Amino acid sequence: MQDANKQIIIIIIAVIAVLLFLGILFLIMIWAYNNRKQQVEVEKLQMKHDFDRQLLQSTLEIQEETFNNISQELHDHVGQLLSLAKVQLNIMEQRAEQPSGSLREVKDTIGQAMTILRDIAKGLSTERVQMFSLAGNIDQEAERINRSGATHVVFQLEGTERPMEAQGKLILFRIIQEALQNVLKHAAAAEVIITCKYMTDLLYISICDNGTGFNVEDALSRKNGLGLQHITSRAAVLGGLANITSSAGKGTIITITIPNV
């Protein structure tokens, strides 16, 4: 009788052990499945991120090529035509016995147009942008806008500027140009303050205007929010983050943080 009881106990223990083993094996299989599923999701996200990055990089390269072509056209053709027109006006002024004030005004206007044209061509030229430091490019862009009288731009540099890889510098400058163009087109701002702060582990940039402001979510959802989307996507290419804060009547602040510049 005792032997039978022992056998029953052994059988029960063996069954429990098998069930425990199967339970543990089942849990391990579930854990492995979930782990693999998470890895696949991470790989899919990484592939999407890489694809988006490559697509944006290609878009930026095409855009830069377009900018260079426009810059060259402005310099070679439109600029030459304006120069020729100014020379012709000079000849007319010299030949006229009593040059009229209107003639001088036209000549001055053409001279101003040539200056503005040269400034725009410089800002669009990839090669010229890469020749100067980020701060130097921002300073020149601020001077160009100030000369136009559209608004007043103040540029503040804090900390010691560090050298940047040419492509990163170009992308950052295009972000700032995009932000300034948005201000000029939509904000009706009297002043824009650009702050470029070099910190230990990151570069912090802010573009702050005192314009009309807007609803950020609404703007991003509409077609005219493409400029804002370009700002955020370009910052992401550099491994950074762009944040846009605005409200009606209170102006707009765009901040960009780029790590390990």
Q: Nearest Cα to 159, choosing from 107, 197, 103?
A: 197
Assess contact for 90 and 107: CB atoms under 8 A: yes
Q: Would you state the pLDDT for residue 152? A: 94
**Segment (H or E) for 257:** strand 252-259
C-alpha 11/C-alpha 13 separation (Å) is 5
The percent of residues above 70 in pLDDT, for the chain, comes to 76
Round the CA-based radius of gyration of the chain to a whole number and report it: 31
Residue range 39-59, pLDDT digits in tens: 888 877 777 666 566 666 666
* Torsion angle of C-alpha atoms 25, 27, 33, 37, degrees rounded to 10: -160
Q: Which sequence spans correspond to the domains of the chain?
A: 152-261
Is pLDDT of 204 > 90?
yes
Question: Hey, which of 50-54, 72-76, 161-165, 250-254 has the most confident mean pLDDT?
Answer: 250-254
In CATH, what number does 152-261 get? 3.30.565.10
Report pTM: 0.64
